[in-house]
Structure 1
């Protein structure tokens, strides 16, 4: 059987570093993890007018992370916190393609900032800066390398995520200063850090709609590999 075609969102960078002109960026291990789980990844440029065309071809969507934030205007978050950095065209595209994928019941996996974007698409709000909102918060922007665990999360029994990873606790990496703030109708919280920060969400009304606040593409645990395999299994079951 042909491999499912997995659309993967890109980051966008201003001129400098790799090129003197604007450029797209994507860490290789996102694509490696999809390939290892049986998918054929394809990068999606930030063209909101092309969303319908992309969705005609892809079988599933991965919304990746990045060092930026969803504009609070998308979720009625009020004034921007001083730490908030936005990438407006990327967010406009990711919002549209994620909503379109869900409307067509295509599997969606949101990773780190991608989970936050997914949460907003599903009607949720975000904490704009964890240290200002959570007392005695963990170091969610971990000081050690991202290919090492930063803390653990408790996985809720009875959730789709729990059924996939088969454990009530996962060691995860952590590279974020924002997080989901609530559980709107249709959204289930499936993982939480010890300080109460929401680390995972899912929407059971859809075939596969899961967001995780960590970066499972680093495959720190077997649970990470199981998550990608489950996502690809859903993508293959057209």
Structure 2
């Protein structure tokens, strides 16, 4: 039986209170189960930017997850944060260090939701701080219905890595974000767009596998979502 590639999975972090009286890490189980179902061995990565290189020494792939927070606009020249922006600098500092290390080593990367936005920033791209303020006639990208249901569709750009993975021109996706990619960065391309024009995915053909999607394929809202994890883990096998 082939050895499972080791996939580092970034965690969310919360201050003391709620689940624990001390600061704590957490992540939904379906991120991990999706990696396992695709043939990977997921390991959780605590937030220590100074250890990013050592983490990557032990990893075959890096999965950057989403969460209820935003990338600091100071990292991409966006000016002062919008009132709706929520920052988690400790998490972002670590994830950006890990992503840059993975790119430098050409280790496969998959970014989901906020992880996709961070990937674009690492490529040198920019973000929309708050979609309702910047996109006229925008869809409800923070969908009112459950995340286990689709919120809208996306058009998949032909000739992209994403298109080759899902084998479809459209996908049904869930939607849980108020920010979006404005520009994908030097050499990067947009691989999916919502009906209102909001960017829903980016990738960089200059790397072995550097793919980001704005939705949450770990929910498998569309039957082709698991193929994204399959392709990522397959690329991580080397």
**What TM-score, normalized by structure 1, do the two folds share?**
0.99
Structure 2: state its 5+ residue gaps.
none
* Count, aligned residues: 237
Matched residue of 1:181: which SS?
Answer: strand
C-alpha distance in 2, partners of 1:54/1:35? 19
Match of 1:188 in 2: 189
Does residue 195 of structure 2 align to residue 211 of structure 1? no
Match of 1:229 in 2: 230
Note the C-alpha offset of 1:183. Answer: 3.2
Runs of 4+ aligned residues of structure 1 deviating over 2 Å after TM superposition are none
Note the C-alpha offset of 1:184. Answer: 2.5
Deviations 1:73-116 (CA, angstroms, capped at 9, x unpaired)? 00000111000110001000000000000110000000000000
Deviations 1:200-231 (CA, angstroms, capped at 9, x unpaired)? 00000000000000000001122211111000
Matched residue of 2:68: which SS?
Answer: coil
Matched residue of 1:77: which SS?
Answer: coil
C-alpha distance in 1, partners of 2:31/2:201? 18
Does residue 200 of structure 2 align to residue 199 of structure 1? yes
Superposition CA RMSD, Å:
0.6
Matched residue of 1:222: which SS?
Answer: coil
Between 39-48 and 218-227, the greater mean CA deviation after superposition: 218-227
Deviations 1:160-197 (CA, angstroms, capped at 9, x unpaired)? 10010000000000000000001322111000000000
Matched residue of 1:148: which SS?
Answer: coil
After TM superposition, list the pairs within 5 Å mapping 1:83-162 onto structure 2: 83-162=84-163
Between 220-229 and 22-31, the greater mean CA deviation after superposition: 220-229
